[in-house]
Amino acid sequence: MQLTPDVVVAGSPELIRVSAPGATSVDGEWLGRKVQFFPGARTGEWTALAGVDVEAPIGPSTLKIHIIAMPDSADFSRTVEIHAAHYRTESLGVQPKFVEPGPEALKQIHEQSEVKAKVFASSAPEPLWHGDFHAPVAAAATDSFGVRRMFNGKLASIHKGADFRAHTGTPVHAANSGVVVLARPLYFEGNCVIIDHGMGLFTESMHFSRIDVKEGQHVNTGDVLGLSGATGRVTGPHLHWAVRWQGASLDPIKLLHLNLSGSTPPSKKTAAHPHHHRPR
């Protein structure tokens, strides 16, 4: 079993390769999350794109692997040390309605969080992504993932995405192929687009000035999703871009740096995917 990057920090996406010649299926479990493997490019190699949540406990963790083969199946596990990433703390000023939302806003926020939970709960059972992930905008990324943020000196939250310095009107692209599972305005996120890349992996783009895709639409790497902007809880125009895997928030910049070309699922011509569910 091989993990890339081999030094695992909180918030890191991990490419896991297992050599299992003759296996008919491989799955695993790591920190309470199901790890699904698909056959890799090389014969006998199985691959999973997984990761460790930004708030994962620092210290040893157990990665369990279950290999189903004929006539025998095998279970094994490995201890993976999770290292602290030492994220910064910063203070920001935003409009008061985003720190202390009124009752009407709270109702809206609650409903929207249920919509998002439903979206993240269902993912295509096979990888929809192919090859490396590409930056969503032609703009500089800030070192902002994992930063502990104080809003107006009060509410502390962990920044679970990467901010790109994109001016309003900058085209935002699909980082990889997948299905648009959410494309609508939300309270904090502003105009928001979520793409399902399959097997529990999602990318989420926020604060668009305009959305150009529809829920249920299949997108390819590089397709324009909309234009960046300053809608929702922002201090100014930018693109907030987040990566989620099985509910874990991963560092998007680290995902962009992963070389996936040798471990990529076979390319499929996919016009429609019946596997995702539209939020109601």
- Enumerate the β-bridge partners of residue 202: 196, 244
Residue type, 189: E
Nearer to Zn ion, 149 or 273 (CB): 149
233 sits near Zn ion (criterion: CB under 5 A): no
* Of 143, 226, 152, 142, residue with least CA distance to 189: 226
Nearer to Zn ion, 163 or 196 (CB): 163
Return the range that interacts with Zn ion (CB under 5 A); candidates 8-16, 122-130, 225-233, 239-247.
Answer: 239-247
Q: Give least dist CB 240 to Zn ion, A.
A: 3
Q: Cα–Cα distance between 212 and 225 in angstroms, integer?
A: 5
Nearer to Zn ion, 144 or 176 (CB): 144
Q: Give least dist CB 110 to Zn ion, A.
A: 21
Q: Give least dist CB 200 to Zn ion, A.
A: 22
Residue type, 253: I
Nearer to Zn ion, 25 or 142 (CB): 142
CA separation, residue 6 to residues 36, 113, 261 (Å):
19, 34, 18
Nearer to Zn ion, 14 or 163 (CB): 163
* Of 59, 64, 55, residue with least CA distance to 33: 64
251 sits near Zn ion (criterion: CB under 5 A): no
Structure tokens at 264: 């990529």
Q: Give least dist CB 115 to Zn ion, A.
A: 20
* Of 175, 164, 172, 217, residue with least CA distance to 192: 172
Q: Give least dist CB 89 to Zn ion, A.
A: 15
Site for Zn ion in 126-185 (CB under 5 A): 163
Return the range that interacts with Zn ion (CB under 5 A); candidates 96-104, 110-118, 233-241, 247-255.
Answer: 233-241
The residue count for the chain: 280
17 sits near Zn ion (criterion: CB under 5 A): no
How does DSSP assign 236-257, residue by residue? SSBEEEEEEETTEEE-HHHHHH
Q: Give least dist CB 136 to Zn ion, A.
A: 13
Kindly state the number of chain residues that form the binding site for Zn ion, as judged by CB under 5 A. 2
240 sits near Zn ion (criterion: CB under 5 A): yes
CA dihedral 114, 221, 28, 279 (to 10 degrees): 20
Q: Cα–Cα distance between 193 and 1 in angstroms, integer?
A: 35
Helices (DSSP H) in the chain: which residue ranges? 103-121, 252-257
Return the range that interacts with Zn ion (CB under 5 A); candidates 133-141, 180-188, 211-219, 237-245.
Answer: 237-245
Nearer to Zn ion, 240 or 254 (CB): 240
For residue 163, the Cα-to-chain-centroid distance in whole angstroms is 14
The residue with its CB nearest to Zn ion is: 240
Binding site for Zn ion (CB under 5 A): 163, 240
